[in-house]
Amino acid sequence: MLLLTETSTVFVRADPYDVSDYVNQHVGSHCIRLPATGGLSASLSHRKFASLDLCRISYGGSVRVTSPALETIYHLQILLSGHCLWRNRHAEHYLAPGELLLINPDDPVDLTYSDDCEKFILKLPASLLQATCEEQRWRLPEQGVRFTRNLYDLQQLDSFMRLLSLVCMEAEASDNALQTQEHYSRIVASKLLTQLSSNICRELPLPQAASFERLIQYIDENLKQDISAEQLAASAHISLRSLYSMFERNAGCTPKHYIRERKLARVHSCLSDPSCHVRSVTEIALDYGFLHLGRFSESYKHSFGELPSDTLRRRES
């Protein structure tokens, strides 16, 4: 399976430290340790594809690659030839050709390449996987996406490998628009999240309208509370960006504006209903979180055409 051709070559028979410097800039921060003797000859092919980085690398000798953690980057590594020793917190494993290793952003990196080791590396930013979860409306854990299994046999991932080969071909095409690249990148992220074990909950999403109705119910049940946009997003297991988009589509306003209008409507209803016990306008305004009484009266009059005291007086007459 073809993963980058000679058209993507950046280094051939180069100084490993030059290759390492390039990798630090484009693929992920790391350190390398080389043998004291021996003429190493490193090679690297690289393509940027939207937010993805695709590279094919060999150091031409036994090299140990270490990094404390990749922080905001997921590394997917496919061994093409040779072998590679991977050390993690609990064990060691020798990768053989045809194996895939996925390293989470908070995992330390400790890899030792054999002399004949060659790898294909796919770098994915954490923001891409998060955006994919939001787009699919999958439940995103508070700690972010984490793959719960690191090692895979490529025979188990046949459809993903065909997709990766296609992405490499597209990355080397000369007529690729950024929009097309971003589309493929999202497909790659979605494929990884569905084929590899992770902490993502991929429950079937409810219709958008039903999700919005649940938010409205939450607001109505907690109108006397100071409801923040963050609380609303957490209650629906969505991001703030998705929350604002949902309110724009369904209500034509921000969550804050909608909550304020619902509070005003509830106050108006209480002031208008003789069966609702109201001792004073001030009491009910404070009860619903309107601490600035002057601004409350202005907003009330703007919405209902009269002051709250007029509404209360009319019902008592």
pLDDT digits (tens, 9 = 90+) for 198-252: 998 876 554 555 578 889 999 999 998 999 999 888 888 788 888 888 898 888 9
- Residue 1, pLDDT > 70, answer no
- Residue 197, pLDDT > 80, answer yes
Cα separation, 309 vs 317, whole angstroms: 12
What average pLDDT does the structure give for the chain? Answer: 89
Nearest to 26 by CA among 5, 47, 3, 2: 47
Structure tokens at 237: 């297991």
List pLDDT tens digits, range 291-311.
898 999 999 999 899 999 988
Residue of 169 and 143 predicted with greater confidence: 169
* pLDDT value of residue 206: 47
- The 3 state secondary structure assigned to 243-288 is HHHHHHHHCCCCHHHHHHHHHHHHHHHHHHCCCCCCCCHHHHHHHC
Residue of 42 and 273 predicted with greater confidence: 42
* pLDDT value of residue 150: 94
Parallel, antiparallel, or unpaired: how do β-strands 52-58 and 73-81 relate?
Answer: unpaired
Contacts 24+ apart (CB under 8 A), 262-269: 262/219, 262/220, 262/223, 263/223, 263/288, 263/289, 263/290, 264/299, 264/300, 264/303, 264/304, 265/303, 266/223, 267/300, 267/308, 268/300, 268/303, 268/304, 268/308, 268/311
What is the arithmetic mean of pLDDT over 7-20?
93
**Structural domains of the chain in order of their starting residue, each with its CATH number:** 6-195 (2.60.120.10), 208-316 (1.10.10.60)
* pLDDT value of residue 208: 54
Return the bridge partners of 153, or none. Answer: 99
List pLDDT tens digits, range 70-112.
889 999 999 999 999 999 877 899 999 999 999 999 999 999 9
Residue of 67 and 36 predicted with greater confidence: 67
Judged by average pLDDT, the poorest of 133-137, 192-196, 269-273 is: 133-137
Cα separation, 301 vs 317, whole angstroms: 20
- Could you tell me the strand order of the sheet in which 42-49 lies? 9-14, 42-49, 52-58, 118-125, 73-81, 99-103, 151-153
Cα separation, 234 vs 227, whole angstroms: 11
Cα angle 135, 139, 140; round to 5: 85
Q: How confident is the model at residue 139 (pLDDT cuts 50, 70, 90)?
A: confident
DSSP annotation of 5 reads -
Nearest to 77 by CA among 128, 3, 131: 3
